[in-house]
């Protein structure tokens, strides 16, 4: 079936950048005509793996008896740590995770080995028949216990400026508080999967649903004891990643490859949904303690803040995640005398990992929560308190990590949203409603977002691309980024199309492949288009330059006089068809393909002191959210959301709007219904959609309006755009603040001091809302 759109069905007017082209595979996806890893035709002899999981949170692994499993129908082999030919420890940066559990287990769900069988179901059944003898050891399951025991995956980090203790001591107003926010399961629709194919001469081809093919390549070669060049990793697309496939797709690839190495057969490993929940890490749950002082106007004068991240049993990406939380615990606000302590707590749970926002949301929510508490303490409007604390333009504009905020647009963006959302009138309407309704209480809040764009590890901010022009004039692009639904390939195709002046439909983006672009960074930190879009643009520019000098020679004009647009190449003397020039240029031995390389300018950062300019620029936005809570049942509903978000000059408005809506709704899920519950034995009891509730269509607010900020990126970024993947996630903190506003309204007149902080643990489930109302302990 031809599922690519016809040129006539689309808006093909130049330029492609700035128009809402369909996602490059949208039509094929809805027609079921694209392939995910599990759809790839299998090689004859392919075997299937299922994981053997620890059922104890912490213990010594005394024995693994696979005899019953091996006797079951179709079972071919069992693969354990001893079968790993290379390093038995994963090549993750902290080198603190065994590939398969060796002599201890560290969480319920840890993979001890694999059963290999002729069908998936045979493997899964047999994996359950493997008998484990584990002697339990004391397990640490909560952040509080980890903090008490000083049980960390990485050492604590402190960032200080000024003298917070002195500021607190001399303050007129002071508040203390503590609360927790939960983790979040990624719930990508396509679960984790890898398919490992042994090739000739100890070479490998790995299909992996991964955000980071390069890291999968490194991990697999390390475990197999091979050089990187022996392993090729390919990923055409993921059915969602959301950070969950930044590192943890690599585990599956290594497991499948070890099994394929032992059996000599291709091996596919696909976790079912319950296993995926049990095995893989999630967003880091956080616990906070703060002590803040402020003046009569609500301006913060001093802040001591403790952020404790539940990292699970290993470091994984916890270092940079916790760093990003520290970098975002100012959100949009100037903190003069501040002392932040960040603890990276080790618990006997899954190893928590990247998740949209990468610690940013866990930083932003604490300062936004403090803003709400200050407003209540002073009986002021919370938006006024937020405005009062914003970073200044010419002063009060240096972050606690010593980066000057040069592109602050919130002084204009927030008032614009205040006006378009009718905030002041609606505050009055909410107050009127609350005065007249005893049971259902409403709340309203505007919260801003300022999110730093770039990998904080400066070295990752590089990218490569290859652009090929074939003799028929069609164009193929390959770059180091991966497609997970966010529209990266579409945007890159748009950028290349414009650079060459050809219609979007002439450009195809091919699968991410470590043999095409080496050493590519993860597609993460929202920087996919910034990095790969620019690299592809530079590659296309080289080809364009080659063609321009060729036609200049023909027409005897200067190279600057040549234009590429609408499938034509135009000089002051003649207009030629792109296809004709390409054909002729080929015949004249002109190079029709090129590489491109980009590295982000201006950034630098000292990771021991967490100071410098870690971010190239900031992406901004704000949301106004209205909620209602039922004070008898604790149930809640998000009624209306108005968003004003900054994507710079949008490369694809439809895709950007989708990212903003999707990010918001995913954030709303994190803060309202998505609750992870580990029982006292460390077993995750919420491990399927039956017990873990992500937002459904019925949860989408009736009114959900998204507007774009009008201005281009002030830094020189591709097409004048800004990154959009993660920043909108944090707009959902307005839901949490609106919920706390409604809870505060419910406390009025029931004997609670109205000026006290509202302590609401996230997610704001019915139970947690009732707890915040003092109706449940």
Collapsing DSSP states into helix, strand and coil, what is residue 577?
strand
Q: Name the residue with the smallest CB distance to ligand MOS.
A: 243
Out of ligand MOS, ligand MTE, ligand HPA, none, what residue 456 binds, judged by CB under 5 to 8 A for its kind, is ligand HPA
Rounded to whole angstroms, the Cα distance separating 211 from 213 reads 6
Q: What is the rounded end-to-end Cα distance, in angstroms, of the chain?
A: 59
Out of ligand MTE, ligand HPA, ligand MOS, none, what residue 58 binds, judged by CB under 5 to 8 A for its kind, is none
Backbone φ, ψ for residue 287 (5° rounding): -125, 140
Q: Between 329 and 456, whose beta carbon lies closer to ligand MOS?
A: 456
Collapsing DSSP states into helix, strand and coil, what is residue 1?
coil
Positive or negative, the CA dihedral 90, 92, 97, 101 is negative
Which residues, 6+ apart, have CB-to-CB distance to 177 below 8 Å? 288, 289, 290, 369, 370, 373, 757, 759
> C-beta of 253: minimal distance to ligand MTE in Å?
18
- Residue from 456, 571, 631, 765 in contact with ligand HPA (CB under 6 A): 456
Residues of the shown chain interacting with ligand MOS in the complex, contacts defined by CB under 6 A: 211, 243, 246, 354-356, 358, 524-525, 726
- 457 binds ligand HPA, rule: CB under 6 A: yes
Q: Between 524 and 540, whose beta carbon lies closer to ligand MOS?
A: 524
> C-beta of 281: minimal distance to ligand HPA in Å?
14
Collapsing DSSP states into helix, strand and coil, what is residue 331?
coil
- 354 binds ligand HPA, rule: CB under 6 A: yes
Out of 726, 754, 756, 767, the active site residue is 726
Which residues, 6+ apart, have CB-to-CB distance to 750 below 8 Å? none
8 A C-beta contact, residue 207 and residue 235: yes
Rounded to whole angstroms, the Cα distance separating 550 from 592 reads 11
- Residue from 334, 358, 401, 605 in contact with ligand HPA (CB under 6 A): 358
Q: What angle do CA 288, 293, 297 make, to 5 degrees?
A: 125
Q: Between 525 and 569, whose beta carbon lies closer to ligand HPA?
A: 525
- 480 binds ligand HPA, rule: CB under 6 A: no
Q: DSSP string of 518-574?
A: TTPPPS-TT-HIIIIIHHHHHHHHHHHHHHHHHHHHHHT--GGG-EEETTEEE-SS-
Q: Between 331 and 456, whose beta carbon lies closer to ligand HPA?
A: 456
Residues of the shown chain interacting with ligand MTE in the complex, contacts defined by CB under 6 A: 240-243, 356, 484-486, 488, 523-529, 659, 662, 725-726
- 525 binds ligand HPA, rule: CB under 6 A: yes
Out of ligand HPA, ligand MTE, ligand MOS, none, what residue 324 binds, judged by CB under 5 to 8 A for its kind, is ligand HPA
> C-beta of 714: minimal distance to ligand HPA in Å?
21
Rounded to whole angstroms, the Cα distance separating 440 from 437 reads 6
Q: Between 605 and 736, whose beta carbon lies closer to ligand HPA?
A: 605
8 A C-beta contact, residue 769 and residue 741: no
> C-beta of 691: minimal distance to ligand MOS in Å?
24
Order of strands, edge to edge, in the sheet holding 593-599? 507-509, 475-479, 462-469, 593-599
> C-beta of 599: minimal distance to ligand MOS in Å?
18
Helices (H) and strands (E) in the chain, counts: 20, 29
- Residue from 236, 324, 442, 747 in contact with ligand HPA (CB under 6 A): 324
Out of ligand MOS, ligand MTE, ligand HPA, none, what residue 366 binds, judged by CB under 5 to 8 A for its kind, is none
> C-beta of 726: minimal distance to ligand MTE in Å?
5
Out of ligand HPA, ligand MOS, ligand MTE, none, what residue 486 binds, judged by CB under 5 to 8 A for its kind, is ligand MTE
Of 660, 679, 588, residue with least CA distance to 621: 660
Residue matched to tokens 């003649």: 574
726 is a catalytic site residue: yes
Site of interaction with ligand HPA (CB under 6 A): 246, 317, 320, 324, 354, 358, 455-457, 460, 522, 524-525
Question: So which residues are the catalytic ones?
Answer: 726
């Amino acid at each position: 079936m031809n599922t690519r759109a016809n040129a006539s069905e689309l808006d093909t007017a130049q330029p492609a950048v700035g128009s809402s082209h369909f996602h490059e595979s949208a039509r094929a996806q809805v027609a079921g005509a694209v392939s995910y890893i599990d759809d790839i035709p299998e090689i004859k002899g392919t075997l299937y793996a299922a994981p053997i999981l620890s059922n104890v949170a912490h213990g010594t692994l005394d024995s693994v008896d696979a005899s019953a499993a091996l006797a079951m129908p179709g079972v071919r082999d069992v693969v354990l740590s001893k079968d790993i030919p290379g390093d038995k420890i994963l090549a993750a940066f902290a080198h603190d995770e065994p590939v398969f559990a060796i002599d201890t287990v560290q969480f319920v769900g840890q993979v001890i080995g694999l059963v290999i069988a002729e069908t998936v179901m045979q493997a899964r059944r047999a994996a359950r028949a493997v008998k484990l003898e584990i002697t339990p050891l004391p397990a640490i399951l909560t952040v509080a216990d980890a903090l008490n025991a000083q049980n960390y995956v990485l050492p604590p980090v402190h960032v200080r400026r000024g003298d917070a203790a002195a500021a607190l001591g001399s303050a007129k107003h002071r508040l203390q508080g503590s609360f927790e926010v939960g983790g979040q399961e990624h719930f990508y629709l396509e679960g984790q999967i890898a398919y490992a194919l042994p090739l000739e001469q100890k070479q490998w081809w790995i299909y992996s649903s991964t955000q980071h093919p390069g890291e999968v390549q490194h991990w697999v070669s390390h475990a197999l004891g091979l050089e990187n060049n022996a392993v090729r990793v390919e990923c055409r697309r993921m059915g969602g990643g959301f950070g969950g496939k930044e590192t943890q797709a690599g585990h599956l690839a290594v497991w499948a490859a070890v099994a394929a190495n032992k059996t000599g057969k291709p091996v596919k490993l696909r976790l079912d949904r319950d296993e995926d929940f049990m095995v893989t890490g999630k967003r880091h749950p956080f616990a906070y303690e703060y002590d803040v002082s402020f003046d009569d106007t609500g301006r913060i004068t001093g802040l001591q803040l403790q952020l404790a991240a539940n990292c699970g049993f290993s470091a994984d990406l916890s270092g940079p995640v916790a760093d990003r939380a520290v970098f975002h615990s100012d959100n949009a606000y100037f903190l003069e005398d501040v002392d932040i302590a960040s603890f990276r707590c080790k618990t006997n749970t899954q190893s928590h990992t990247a998740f949209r926002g990468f610690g940013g949301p866990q930083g932003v929510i604490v300062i936004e929560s403090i803003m709400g508490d200050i407003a209540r303490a002073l009986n002021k409007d919370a938006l006024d308190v937020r405005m009062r604390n914003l970073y200044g333009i010419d002063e009060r504009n240096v972050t606690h990590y010593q980066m000057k905020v040069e592109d602050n647009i919130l002084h204009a963006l927030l008032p614009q949203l205040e006006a378009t959302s009718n905030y002041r009138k609606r505050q009055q309407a909410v107050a009127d409603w609350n005065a007249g309704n005893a049971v259902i209480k409403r709340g309203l809040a505007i919260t801003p977002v300022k999110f730093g764009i770039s990998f904080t590890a400066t070295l990752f901010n590089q990218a490569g691309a290859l652009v090929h022009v074939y003799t028929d004039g069609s164009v193929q692009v390959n770059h180091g980024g991966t497609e997970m639904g966010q529209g990266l390939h579409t945007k890159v195709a748009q950028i290349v199309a414009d650079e060459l002046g050809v219609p979007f439909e002439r450009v195809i983006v091919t699968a991410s492949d470590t043999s095409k672009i080496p050493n590519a960074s993860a597609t993460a930190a929202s920087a996919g288009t910034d990095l790969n879009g620019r690299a592809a643009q530079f590659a296309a520019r080289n080809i364009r330059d080659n063609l321009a000098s060729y036609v200049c020679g023909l027409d005897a004009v200067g190279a600057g006089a040549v234009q590429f647009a609408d499938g034509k190449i135009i000089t002051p003397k003649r207009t030629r068809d792109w296809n004709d020039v390409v054909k002729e240029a080929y015949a004249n031995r002109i190079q029709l393909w090129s590489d491109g390389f980009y590295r982000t300018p201006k950034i630098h950062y000292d990771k021991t002191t967490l100071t410098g300019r870690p971010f190239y620029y900031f992406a901004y936005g704000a949301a106004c959210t209205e909620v209602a809570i039922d004070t008898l049942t604790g149930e809640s509903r998000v009624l209306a959301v108005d968003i004003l978000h900054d994507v710079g000059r949008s490369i694809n408005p439809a895709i950007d709007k989708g990212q903003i809506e999707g990010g918001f709704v995913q954030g709303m899920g994190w803060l309202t219904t998505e609750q992870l519950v580990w029982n006292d034995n460390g077993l995750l009891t919420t491990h399927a959609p039956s017990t873990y509730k992500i937002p459904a269509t019925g949860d989408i607010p009736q009114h959900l309006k998204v507007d774009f900020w009008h201005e281009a990126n002030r830094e020189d970024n591709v097409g004048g755009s800004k990154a959009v993947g993660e920043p909108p996630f944090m707009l959902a903190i307005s839901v949490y603040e609106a919920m706390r506003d409604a809870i505060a309204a419910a406390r009025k007149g029931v004997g609670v001091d109205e000026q006290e902080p509202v302590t609401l643990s996230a997610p704001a489930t019915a139970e947690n809302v009732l707890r915040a109302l003092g109706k449940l302990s």
